[in-house]
């Protein structure tokens, strides 16, 4: 990697007689904290300008609970920008499968041992209470488990009852619907109580666009008026709003060294 033009890769700069961390060092530290699948995500301008309610950008909605229907390739990009933009906030990415694992005790201290270097969670509360934003991937759990829906419900209620933001991620290629292992009527009701955002596919996968699944409105875990329309539905027959771009004057400067970490925005782009 080329030497930093500010500090020459020293990692610190002197300002007013004080040594401060250079931007390049800060970006390296943030990149090191990202899972590899997030660090290598491709970020495009459309990710930066995607809106949730016609005026607020998705990447700025870290203080709101959202039910997001988007392809995982795009969600990786959203999460990458959120981690860079809100670098002082602690994000945790889990799934309904990990919730199940914690519930059955496989992540507890007794199961992992006193000398384990892996994270230890003795209860669902340990897993979900600390992050500033909790992100849960739905429908990763594929094996039948009677407690799965109750565990997901407990995690959601813990966050929502305390006004702590939670993002629920629903992949259009593997939708969270009636029949999913962690689905229940109570979970459906909780999902319907928060803002639903649907993002059209932005990133390609291996040079081609992922196919759009044809799902009926009846398959949606949300209320009919919130459910995403099927492919054959005319835009005039649905109440869903088209995702628009935020005004340019609302944009903020992107850290100049972002291009060095994973494929994504080149230096000089704006968040």
For 84, the token pair is 């860079």
* Cα→Cα distances 160→76, 133, 165, Å: 24, 12, 7
Distance between CA atoms of residues 146 and 181, nearest Å: 8
* Residue pLDDT, tens place only, 154-213: 999 999 999 999 999 999 999 999 999 999 999 999 999 999 999 999 998 644 444 444
Distance between CA atoms of residues 153 and 174, nearest Å: 20
Other C-beta atoms within 10 Å of 265: how many?
Answer: 23
**CATH class given for the domain over 41-228:** alpha beta
Alpha helices, H only, 86-166: 96-104, 109-112, 124-128, 148-161
pLDDT(119) > 50: yes
Helix or strand run (H / E) with residue 175:
none
pLDDT(54) > 50: yes
Q: Domain limits of the chain?
A: 41-228
* Residue pLDDT, tens place only, 24-34: 888 888 888 89
């Amino acid at each position: 990697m080329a030497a930093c033009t500010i500090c020459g890769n020293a990692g610190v700069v002197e300002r007013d007689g004080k040594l401060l961390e250079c931007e390049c060092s800060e970006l390296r530290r943030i990149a090191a904290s990202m899972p590899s699948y997030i660090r290598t995500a491709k970020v495009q301008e459309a990710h930066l300008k995607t809106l949730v309610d016609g005026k607020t950008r998705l990447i700025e909605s870290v203080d709101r609970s959202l039910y997001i229907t988007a392809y995982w390739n795009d969600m990786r990009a959203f999460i990458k920008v959120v981690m860079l933009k809100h670098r002082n906030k602690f994000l945790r990415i889990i799934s309904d499968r990990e919730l199940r694992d914690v519930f059955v005790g496989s992540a507890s201290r007794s199961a992992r041992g006193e000398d384990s270097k892996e994270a230890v969670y003795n209860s669902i509360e340990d897993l979900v209470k600390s992050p500033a934003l909790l992100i849960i991937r739905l429908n990763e759990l594929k094996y039948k488990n009677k407690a799965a829906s109750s565990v997901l419900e407990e995690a959601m209620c813990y966050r929502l009852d305390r006004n702590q933001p939670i993002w629920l991620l629903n992949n259009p290629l593997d939708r969270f619907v009636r029949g999913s292992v962690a689905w229940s009527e109570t979970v459906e009701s909780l999902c319907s109580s928060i803002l639903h955002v649907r993002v059209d596919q932005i990133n390609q996968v291996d040079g081609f666009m992922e196919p759009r699944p044809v799902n009926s409105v009846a398959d949606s875990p949300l209320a009919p008026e919130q459910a995403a329309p099927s492919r054959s539905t005319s835009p005039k027959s649905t109440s869903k709003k088209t995702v628009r771009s935020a005004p340019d004057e609302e944009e903020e400067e992107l850290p100049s060294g972002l291009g060095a970490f994973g494929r994504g925005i080149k230096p000089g782009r704006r968040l």
